[in-house]
């Protein structure tokens, strides 16, 4: 036992938002905490989602014992189907988290192979050398937990995502008592959420949005459409309760909104009064001041329900002058253009769109601000500290918040990046090398889904410089060109009337390349394509300084 080492390996979620996944290894036993995804930025053209590279875990799959989930947000569970298709181990999580995972597994048609095991706060389980206790935390999604993991080298606390909400709408308080008990007994390592480390003070309670929602639903003269993250069950509950109070019926619109409310209601996490729900198809026939629409699409995703409503392209719901639309969510960085374009469309239709910062608030964060992070640090008083879940600026701010604990037993703080290994043993803790990490780009419209770097590079290339296609008809026997080559372009130059001088000269360049090639070269399609590509590229760069994608096509005649 004295020679045991614990390796902590963040494979995603440090130095970036999303894609949270961390492995803990002790000898020949590995447990994995969360398996999240992230949404692509503008650079990743045509990519739907981004998942972590699991190479390290796949190489050591015989040692992986379990996947443990802290909560059900996509940045913590979105990669579970891809994880289980590579490494099929038991998955532990709360009932709500696993129900969300189950829907994703059914979409990928691998539910039957998965072994999902439900846990509750205060439950303890033993996996190899790890004893894990689940601790209830407050967050913007229900049934979120932190993990207290007892290992041969001491206790590791992993907070998951959290805020310290003193007045949660379900009255389920953050279990600070259990956290403090571990702190008294001694904690070797704390891994803690850093998302709002750069925000001073405290995050507002979920109850803080109630006055704004109440005002909207009681005073708006017509229809009220409220869009929030479908996983925000506390927010949905408040909208349903306040709608009933204001004499309004509620319609649920959007696939994710319907799916998640069904799951939450079936688990007893969402109370829906009898008779309050109406079908989306009935919304436009009802008195406008007697209906609330809970609709998905807060981030302006082009095919989401609210985005379709904004351009009058939804089969059941339309926005009319005087209607109110409230975005009860934050604007995720990178989505600004989509969201503001959608808001413009809604305003053009005469809607009063409410969004952004206001008092009282329409949205509150689910992550703790600096004073809440400091509270958790003070309760746990770890020997070593690793900030997680955030970009580098948040991690470094969180590290500075912990400096005051130097006199209370904190020996060192490690600001890590994905793939770096932290090694702990009886002698202390240190960074110890690197494992392979990266991003896997998934395009759900392609045959094998995974998009290689070269494909993304080509997509970017096409968007910037276009494509040029020389079409060459050659005799399969002599290799000679039967006619003058054609040159077609898209996104490069206009050639609608066939009069482009550049493309006319390009045809001559291709013809000269064919004439100067030997018969063997002309009958070898691979060789002649490369010669045509090289000569045409040289000509186009010289004439235009642009580098379109050149794809020669050889037709045998």
Is there a single domain that holds both residue 105 and residue 224?
no
Q: Determine the straight-line distance between the first and last CA of the chain, rounded to whole angstroms.
A: 76
* Within-domain flag for 454: no
Is there a single domain that holds both residue 248 and residue 110?
no
Specify whether the CB–CB gap between 557 and 474 falls below 8 A.
yes
Domain holding 20: CATH number? 3.60.15.10
Is there a single domain that holds both residue 279 and residue 383?
no
Beta-carbon count within 10 A of 371 CB: 14
Is there a single domain that holds both residue 179 and residue 62?
yes
HEC per residue, 299-320: CCCCCCHHHHHHCCCCCCCCCC
Which pLDDT score is estimated for 273?
95
Going through 407-454 in order, the beta strands assigned E by DSSP cover: 412-413, 420-425, 428-434, 439-442, 450-451
* Within-domain flag for 453: no
Is there a single domain that holds both residue 191 and residue 303?
no
* Within-domain flag for 399: yes
* Within-domain flag for 225: yes
* Catalytic residue list contains 193: yes
Which pLDDT score is estimated for 478?
64
Of 308, 326, 354, which residue constitutes the final position of a domain?
Answer: 354
Is there a single domain that holds both residue 381 and residue 342?
no
Of 328, 354, 380, which residue constitutes the final position of a domain?
Answer: 354
Which pLDDT score is estimated for 485?
85
CB burial of 484-495 (b: ≥16 within 10 Å; e: otherwise) equals: ebbbebeebbee
Of 324, 354, 384, which residue constitutes the final position of a domain?
Answer: 354
Which pLDDT score is estimated for 40?
64
Which pLDDT score is estimated for 501?
81
| Domain total in the chain | 3
Which of the residues 158, 367, 389, 398 is marked catalytic? Answer: 367
- The CA-atom distances, in angstroms, between 210 and each of 74, 195, 293 are 26, 24, 17
Which of the residues 193, 241, 323, 443 is marked catalytic? Answer: 193
Phi, psi of 426 (to 5 degrees): -65, -15
Specify whether the CB–CB gap between 10 and 22 falls below 8 A.
yes
Distance CA 307, CA 317 (A): 11
Quote the pTM value: 0.81
Is there a single domain that holds both residue 478 and residue 519?
yes
Is there a single domain that holds both residue 392 and residue 481?
no
Question: Which residue range(s) make up the domain with 552?
Answer: 466-556
Which pLDDT score is estimated for 498?
47
Which pLDDT score is estimated for 534?
87
* Catalytic residue list contains 344: no
Specify whether the CB–CB gap between 223 and 331 falls below 8 A.
no
Domain holding 492: CATH number? 3.10.20.580
* Within-domain flag for 234: yes
- The CA-atom distances, in angstroms, between 97 and each of 124, 127, 394, 510 are 17, 20, 26, 60
Nearest to 28 by CA among 53, 52, 4, 58: 4
- What is the three-class DSSP state of 496? coil
Is there a single domain that holds both residue 119 and residue 17?
yes
Ordered per-residue pLDDT tens for the chain, 557 residues: 457 899 999 999 998 888 899 999 999 999 999 999 977 655 544 556 788 889 999 999 999 999 999 999 999 999 999 999 999 999 999 999 999 999 999 988 899 999 999 999 999 999 999 999 999 999 999 999 999 999 999 999 999 999 999 999 999 999 999 999 999 999 999 999 999 999 999 999 999 999 999 999 999 999 999 999 999 999 999 999 999 999 999 999 999 999 999 999 999 999 999 999 999 999 999 999 999 999 999 988 878 899 999 999 899 999 999 999 999 998 877 788 889 999 999 999 999 999 988 889 999 999 999 999 999 999 999 999 999 999 999 999 999 999 999 888 899 999 999 999 999 998 999 999 999 888 777 665 443 455 445 555 555 556 667 788 888 887 766 667 767 888 888 777 765 544 478 888 888 888 888 888 877 677 777 778 888 888 888 888 888 888 787 888 888 76
* Within-domain flag for 295: yes
Phi, psi of 64 (to 5 degrees): -75, 125
Beta bridge partner(s), residue 469: 488
- The CA-atom distances, in angstroms, between 128 and each of 56, 74, 187 are 20, 28, 20
Distance CA 250, CA 236 (A): 11
* Within-domain flag for 55: yes
Is there a single domain that holds both residue 210 and residue 190?
no
Is there a single domain that holds both residue 419 and residue 472?
no
HEC per residue, 185-228: HCCCEEEEECCCCCCCCCCCCHHHHHHHHHHHHHHCCCCEEEEC
* Within-domain flag for 452: no
Beta bridge partner(s), residue 50: 38, 441
Is there a single domain that holds both residue 427 and residue 528?
no
DSSP secondary structure of 351-369: -EEE-SS-SS-S---SS--
Specify whether the CB–CB gap between 166 and 160 falls below 8 A.
no
Which pLDDT score is estimated for 1?
44
């Amino acid at each position: 036992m004295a020679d045991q080492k614990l390796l902590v390996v963040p494979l995603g979620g440090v130095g970036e938002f999303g894609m949270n996944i961390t492995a803990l290894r002790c000898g020949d036993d590995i447990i994995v905490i969360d398996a999240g995804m992230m949404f692509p930025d503008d650079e990743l053209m045509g990519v739907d989602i981004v998942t972590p590279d699991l190479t390290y875990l796949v190489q050591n799959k015989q040692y992986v014992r379990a996947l443990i989930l802290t909560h059900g947000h996509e940045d913590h569970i979105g990669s579970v189907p891809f994880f289980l298709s590579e490494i099929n181990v038991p998955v532990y999580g709360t009932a709500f988290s696993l129900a969300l995972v189950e829907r994703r597994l059914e979409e990928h048609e691998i539910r039957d192979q998965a072994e999902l095991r439900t846990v509750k706060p205060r439950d303890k389980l033993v996996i190899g050398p790890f004893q894990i206790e689940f601790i209830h935390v407050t967050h913007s999604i229900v049934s979120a937990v932190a993990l207290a993991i007892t290992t041969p080298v001491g206790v590791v606390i992993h907070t998951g995502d959290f805020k310290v909400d003193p007045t949660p709408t379900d009255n389920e308080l953050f279990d600070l008592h259990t956290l403090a008990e571990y702190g008294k007994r001694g904690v070797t390592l704390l891994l803690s959420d850093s998302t709002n480390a750069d925000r001073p003070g405290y995050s507002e309670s979920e109850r803080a949005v109630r006055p704004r929602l109440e005002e909207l639903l009681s005073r708006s003269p017509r229809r009220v459409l409220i869009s929030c993250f479908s996983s925000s069950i506390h927010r949905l509950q408040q909208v349903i309760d306040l709608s009933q109070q204001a004499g309004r019926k509620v319609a649920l619109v959007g696939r994710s909104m319907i799916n998640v409310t069904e799951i939450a209601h079936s688990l007893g996490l969402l109370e829906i009064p009898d008779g309050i729900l109406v079908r989306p198809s009935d919304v436009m026939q009802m008195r406008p001041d007697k209906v609330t629409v809970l609709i998905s699409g807060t981030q302006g995703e082009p095919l989401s329900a609210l985005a379709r409503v904004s351009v009058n392209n939804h089969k059941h719901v339309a926005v009319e002058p005087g209607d109110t639309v409230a975005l009860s969510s934050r604007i995720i960085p990178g989505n600004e253009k989509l969201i503001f374009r959608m808001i413009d469309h809604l305003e053009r239709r005469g809607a009063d769109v409410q969004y952004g910062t206001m008092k009282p608030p329409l949205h509150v964060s689910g992550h703790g601000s600096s004073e809440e992070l400091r509270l958790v640090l003070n309760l746990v008083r770890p020997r070593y500290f690793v900030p997680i879940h955030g970009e580098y600026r948040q991690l470094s701010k969180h590290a500075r918040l912990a400096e005051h604990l130097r006199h209370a037993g904190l020996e060192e703080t490690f600001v890590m990046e994905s793939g770096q290994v932290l090694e702990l043993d009886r002698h202390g803790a240190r960074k110890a090398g690197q494992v392979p990490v990266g991003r896997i780009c998934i395009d759900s419209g392609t045959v094998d889904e995974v998009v290689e770097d070269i494909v993304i590079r080509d997509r970017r290339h096409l968007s910037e410089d276009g494509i040029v296609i020389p079409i060459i008809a050659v005799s399969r026997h002599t290799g000679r060109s039967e006619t003058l080559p054609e040159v077609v372009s898209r996104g490069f130059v206009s050639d609608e009337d066939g009069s482009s001088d550049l493309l006319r000269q390009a045809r001559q360049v291709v013809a000269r390349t064919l004439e100067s090639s030997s018969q063997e070269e002309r009958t070898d399609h691979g060789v002649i394509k490369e010669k045509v590509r090289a000569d045409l590229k040289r000509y186009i760069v010289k004439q235009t300084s642009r580098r379109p994608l050149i794809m020669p096509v050889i037709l045998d005649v």
